[in-house]
Amino acid sequence: MPNPLTRAIEAAVKECFPELQLAGGADEPFYKAPSQGHPAILFYREDFARSLLHELSHYCLAGPRRRMLDDFGYWYFPTGRSADEQTQFEAVEARPQGLERCFCDIVGLAFQPSLDDFSGRPPSPSFLEKLESAYIEMNTQPPATAAHALTGLQTYVDTYPDHFICGSDGM
């Protein structure tokens, strides 16, 4: 059964970014850049609201040039990274997760930092500090596309509050 919260978030995102197609049910998140008259597609994990919000954060912060590249032109090391690879991952994840936390606040989902690492390592203090700084930035001075998404999502929630009653963690 489709997650009603995820469907509501999708509807809000489609109002904000009609040029962006959303596709849940993916085994792994992926951004397919627009090409030859085909729109961009943002794939997110399963039917998880948190995955959708996280991938939307990357979209909002990528900028126009990076939005023309598959997966925004970023590298990705799957789980099982070395300590150095995990440090690199954390260095680029703080801002998107700061924005994701703002999105979670709006829709009423609990936010937990994600290291995308199942080794059992806790988030580093440095990562948590950067994430907190990014959260403050996204609440006070977000970049234009992020501000558009935050405003659009808040407007949608204010207009349809009954769609955003959370009964699960949204994963």
User: What is the per-residue pLDDT across 112-166, written as a single tens digit (0 to 9) for each?
Assistant: 998 876 667 788 899 999 999 999 999 999 999 999 999 999 999 999 999 987 6
The pTM assigned to this predicted structure is: 0.92
Q: Which two tokens stand for residue 105?
A: 């606040």
User: What is the per-residue pLDDT across 3-51, written as a single tens digit (0 to 9) for each?
Assistant: 899 999 999 999 999 999 999 999 989 999 999 999 999 999 998 999 9
Q: Give the residue extent of every domain in the chain.
A: 4-161
Burial of 30 (0-12, 13-18, 19+ CB in 10 A): middle
